[in-house]
Amino acid sequence: MLIDLSELFFIKGKAKEYTVPLELEIFCDGMNDYKVADRELVRLVITNQGDRVFAVTGETRLSLWIPCARCLEPVKVPFLLEFDQELDLNLTDEARMADLNEQFYLNGCSLDIDQLVSSELMLNLPMRVLCSDNCKGICNRCGTNLNRGACDCAGKSLDPRMSVIQDIFKQLKEV
């Protein structure tokens, strides 16, 4: 969804409220794609501060399906995103990059809401998501989800070529 900022250009101090739908269905953080589970309308207030500078404030709520770090089951993670940005339309792309303020959500005189939300999501993503604190994860041999039941991998013998390494581990445990 694009919002045209040109209608606010001419009157300093003019503010306009927007309530727009979020069209984002899949969020990509550069390595992983996360499906959007729930989303609410994006509420924004854009204020002309004069000289082609705009203040953008607002908020939205959404949830993403993120895999558990241990068992890889999808977990619904809620987010409350609050926006408080200053958009300077006078800056060139090179000046924005020099300030480390790359505003991918600003394209000419248009504000891309999906890109704005994606930018805020990138800053708010958790480092690690667990389905529960006592998640058992998956078996490192067969891939069985240990939360659903045990596997019989523990009783199986190892490759005989690995027995030397197993003996080294046993010696280290004795020390």
pLDDT digits (tens, 9 = 90+) for 23-72: 889 999 888 899 999 999 999 998 988 887 888 899 999 999 999 999 99
Residue 86 identity (one-letter amino acid): E
Q: Residue 96 pLDDT > 60, yes or no?
A: no
pLDDT tens, residue by residue, 145-165: 889 888 877 656 667 777 787
> What separation, in Å, do the N-terminal and C-terminal C-alpha atoms of the chain show?
64
Strand residue runs (E) in the chain: 2-4, 15-20, 26-28, 33-39, 42-50, 53-67, 74-88, 106-107, 110-112
Quote the pLDDT of residue 161.
Answer: 78
pTM comes to: 0.73
Residue type, 165: I
